[in-house]
Amino acid sequence: MTGAYSSQPNNGTQTVTIGGTITTSDQLTITVYDHGLTQGYEAITYTVQKTNAINC
């Protein structure tokens, strides 16, 4: 699974690569730390869908 998140335009885009077995309904939480965010961090949660695929 690969995802991208940008907290602010001047920070650019950061790409995250996660490895493992895809299981429908599993949840992945990535916490982004940035002084520009209101609390200094933000947790982003993604729920795996049955249509997700692993890029080989």
Structure confidence by residue, pLDDT tens digits, 3-44: 555 445 566 787 878 878 888 999 989 898 888 888 999 999
The whole-angstrom distance between residue 36's C-alpha and the CA centroid of its chain comes to: 18
Picking from 25, 20, 28, 30, the residue whose alpha carbon sits closest to that of residue 50 is 25
Predicted pLDDT of residue 14: 79
Q: Which amino acid is at 45?
A: T
Determine, yes or no, domain membership for 54: no
Determine, yes or no, domain membership for 22: yes
Determine, yes or no, domain membership for 8: yes
Determine, yes or no, domain membership for 56: no
Predicted confidence band of residue 45 (pLDDT cuts 50, 70, 90) = very high
What's the total number of domains in the chain?
1
Domain that holds residue 34: 2-47
Determine, yes or no, domain membership for 21: yes
Q: Which residue has the higher pLDDT, 54 or 31?
A: 31
- Sequence-distant (6+) residues with CB within 8 A of 44 are 5, 29, 30, 31, 32
